[in-house]
Amino acid sequence: MRDTWLIFRHHTRITLRNKFAILITAAQPLFFLVLFGPIFATFGSWETLVPGLIIQLGLLSAGMAGFGVVFDWRSGVLERLRVTPAGRLPLLLGRVLNNTFTLVVQTVLLVAVAYLIGLRAPLLGVLGAMALVVVLGVSLAALSHAAAMRLNEHLFAPVMMTAVWPLMLLSGTFLPMSMAPQWLSTLSYVSPFRYVLEAMRELFAGTYASGVVAVGVLVVALFAAISLTVGTRVFSRDNA
């Protein structure tokens, strides 16, 4: 617990020192919001679009968190920390929680801008969606770290940048999957993000006690459990 907190605090201090990096990672969904949102709003609602952009943000921010570990691996910092008695799960979790913190800050920014240009989701719904974002951020960041440690460092960037797109499109980030032909919609059920996204859309629409929300919560919790297990296993690999 203390180790997790120490690692989290350390990395968060670094994050806060690089505020521009927080903004630039959030830039892509912000562009979509400002430059694509007004078109989408002519036939859809902001409450449908913004949750999709939150998923996009999650994939681009927490999903790319593994870059940090590649960097620390190369500079020998990770190995130095692995010789300390700090637990292996805290070494991972402290970083992952920092990535999640960053994601939450970015999501707040995205939602705030969305409010300025037309979003009208109820506060309770937004808070509920935020809770899902936290769990989603933990999962994505943990998986990203695992991928970064597993893949060779030249492969990590291209693989992740490529993987992000089918995941985004299949979750219905830009257009809801209800508009997709049957085969595509069926295929999209393999992506955990579809369930989370649909739950967030319900929450943004002000429906809290629905089956869709329950399924979304369940899927994201399961996803987090699996991601953290995989992440810790990869992180403690090669230890005596």
Are 189 and 110 in contact by the 8 Å Cβ rule? The answer is no
Nearest CB to other proteins, comparing residues 45 and 236: 236
Binding mask 67-96 for other proteins (x = CB under 8 A): -----x--xxxxxxxxxxxx----------
150 sits near other proteins (criterion: CB under 8 A):
no
CA angle 106, 107, 113 (to 5 degrees): 90
Q: Is 236 exposed, middle or buried, given 0-12, 13-18 or 19+ CB atoms closer than 10 A?
A: middle
Size of site (CB under 8 A) for other proteins: 22
Nearest CB to other proteins, comparing residues 72 and 153: 72
Are 96 and 145 in contact by the 8 Å Cβ rule? The answer is yes
116 sits near other proteins (criterion: CB under 8 A):
no
Nearest CB to other proteins, comparing residues 82 and 180: 82
Nearest CB to other proteins, comparing residues 18 and 162: 18
Q: Map the footprint of other proteins across residues 10-29, applying CB under 8 A.
A: 10, 13-14
1 sits near other proteins (criterion: CB under 8 A):
no
Q: Which residues bind other proteins (CB under 8 A)?
A: 3, 6-7, 10, 13-14, 72, 75-86, 238-240
